[in-house]
Structure 1
Amino acid sequence: MFFGKKRSSLLMVGLLCCTLLSQIFLQNTAYAENSDEASPSLLNNAEQLNQIATSLYRNALDYNLSAVREDIGDLTRQVERFSFDGLTTVEGMHALTETIVEVKEATASVQAASDSLQHASAKLRLAVDSLAHPDKPLWLQYYKIMKEDLSSIEQKVMNEPGTDITAAYSELESHYETIRPAAIIRRPPYEIERFDSWMSYLKGLTMSNGAKGQDILDAVKQGDEFANALFGKEKDATAFVPFAAGPEPWAANLFLGSAIVAVLAYVGYRKYRGNHQSYF
């Protein structure tokens, strides 16, 4: 009977230890796959793309169509030879190429619209910058702008009940569309899809004559939370995040896992001692 209890206790501790260690290993593997730093050569190539995109944007502001077309041609040739492995996802690559096509379309006519060209070139510049500077991309600067857009909609609904907020929504939509390709390059797909769905919902409310002010305010509050998540500024981060998400997260996970395993092993040992002493 003693040996049966002994084996059961040790087996339970062993299974718990294996489960915890397996979980830690899988977490570390997933983290490594998602957080591998791009090689210096990849970053160098991305920086070359960034220089071309910056030049294109400046030429678009000057409405220098011939220079813009030359830049977009150079950028296209570079991207065709470019490897995105380690820099972004398939969705990010698709967003970048779509933006390149948008700039090409904006420059297709002899008298291209200045506003559409500038908007498309701004999107492209932010997207390429997001590739080249994963730690501090320029598109994150739009956080304050979009929060002000949300606040503007909220103030109009609260202070001017029944007023048309279509123009205020259009400002928010324009700013979001500007950063969207850059955000796709860096953020998880579900965050983009969630914000897209929310934008569609808010647009429906702004276009509906029967929409209640409280419904719009509730939607804006939800959008405020989604914006925080999109820009990586969640307010509900736990106290363990700075430790577990530091320079060496795998070490933090291993430390915590080892501590738990040690406690379980000690408990199993004490139980074994208790059983042993009770029989002898």
Structure 2
Amino acid sequence: MKLFRSIFMALLIFLMISPLHSSAEGTSLSELDSISDEALQMAKSGRYDEAKQLLQYFSDKFAEVNARNRSFTMDELRILTVSHESALQSLANSSESIEQRMNSVITFRLVMDTIYSQHQPLWTEMEKPIMSAFQQVQDAASTGDAEEYQTRLNQFLTKYSIIQPSIKLDVPVEKVQQLDSRITFIDRYRNEDGSVKETMNELNTLENDLEDLFDGLTEDEADPSLWWVITTTGSIIILTLSYVGWRKYRGESQHSKSERQKD
């Protein structure tokens, strides 16, 4: 019984330490995520110099974290670096519009969140504006208004480009390639003469792909490690209770047997 209790206590200590260890590893990523969010808030307020300083500070902290933990994949390093440099250049370029600056910083912010977040990523919150912009593309196509169609398609492509780096980190590569190929096809042949029906067929197919993209990641699921702790802890408790019950039953049975032998 003493041996079983020792094993039980060791397992409980392990379960308590594991989440704390994971939390310690995530501290650095949490700091990077906070810096990216602060940079976005500065940009929203029109404080571009301060946003740029935060992004430069992010670069220093990122180098420290990567050198210490080596916790980033090659895709994460590549996409995060590209989006970070793009945001810095955009903030430093006074000739760019407010929308262009904001979009570049938002793109970087979403990428960092995608790397850090273990649950529902922020980019999924772009579903409503992206689907709304796409609906306007469909409406313009259905009326046959070529100029309006070009304008609405450009607006949709701009919004989609904001989340594209993030979905490359979050969505299976086959699905991303299929979606990007369809968007590229529609963009490339936007000026080709074709029937309204053909255009609508392509757009309807793309609509299904977009809906599938968001439907696959809008459910906020619990952290798998949390479920592991719950399941493991529950199993240990059940085993402990079963063992205690068995020991009690065995003791009572032996006691009854002894009593009968005395009689």
Which residue pairs with 1:155 in the alignment? 139
Report the Cα offset of residue 138 of structure 1.
Answer: 1.2
The change in CA–CA distance for 1:221 and 1:87 in structure 2 (over 3 A counts) is farther
Task: Give, in whole Å, the separation in 1 of the partners of 2:140 and 2:96.
Answer: 35
Which structure would you say has the larger RCO, counting Cα contacts within 8 Å and 6 or more residues apart?
1
Task: Give, in whole Å, the separation in 2 of the partners of 1:220 and 1:110.
Answer: 36
The change in CA–CA distance for 1:45 and 1:207 in structure 2 (over 3 A counts) is farther
Task: Identify, as 1 or 2, the structure richer in helix.
Answer: 2
1:143 maps to 2:122: no
Sequence identity, in percent? 12
Task: Give, in whole Å, the separation in 1 of the partners of 2:155 and 2:190.
Answer: 13
Q: State the secondary structure of the residue aligned to 1:206.
A: coil
The change in CA–CA distance for 1:152 and 1:116 in structure 2 (over 3 A counts) is closer
Contact 1:134/1:186 (8 A) holds in 2: no
The change in CA–CA distance for 1:157 and 1:112 in structure 2 (over 3 A counts) is closer
The change in CA–CA distance for 1:87 and 1:139 in structure 2 (over 3 A counts) is farther
* Equivalent AA in structure 2 for residue 142 of structure 1: M
* Equivalent AA in structure 2 for residue 81 of structure 1: E
Q: Unpaired segments of 5 or more residues in structure 2?
A: 1-20, 218-226, 232-263
Following TM superposition, the consecutive aligned residue runs of length 4 or more in structure 1 with deviations greater than 6 angstroms are: 84-88
The change in CA–CA distance for 1:108 and 1:161 in structure 2 (over 3 A counts) is closer
Report the Cα offset of residue 195 of structure 1.
Answer: 1.6
Contact 2:111/2:166 (8 A) holds in 1: yes
Report the Cα offset of residue 192 of structure 1.
Answer: 2.0
* Cα displacement string for residues 141-194 of structure 1 (whole angstroms, at most 9, x for unaligned residues): 112222222222222222x12433011111211111111122122112222222
For the aligned residues, what is the CA RMSD? 2.7
1:223 maps to 2:206: yes
Which residue pairs with 1:26 in the alignment? none
Task: Give, in whole Å, the separation in 1 of the partners of 2:215 and 2:76.
Answer: 17
Which residue pairs with 2:104 in the alignment? 120
Q: Which has the larger radius of gyration?
A: 2
Which residue pairs with 1:35 in the alignment? none
Task: Give, in whole Å, the separation in 2 of the partners of 1:86 and 1:230.
Answer: 30
Query: What is the TM-score with the length of structure 2 in the denominator?
Result: 0.67
Pick from 26, 29, 42 the counterpart of residue 59 of structure 1: 42
Query: What is the TM-score with the length of structure 1 in the denominator?
Result: 0.63
1:46 maps to 2:23: no
* Equivalent AA in structure 2 for residue 43 of structure 1: G
Task: Give, in whole Å, the separation in 2 of the partners of 1:155 and 1:140.
Answer: 24
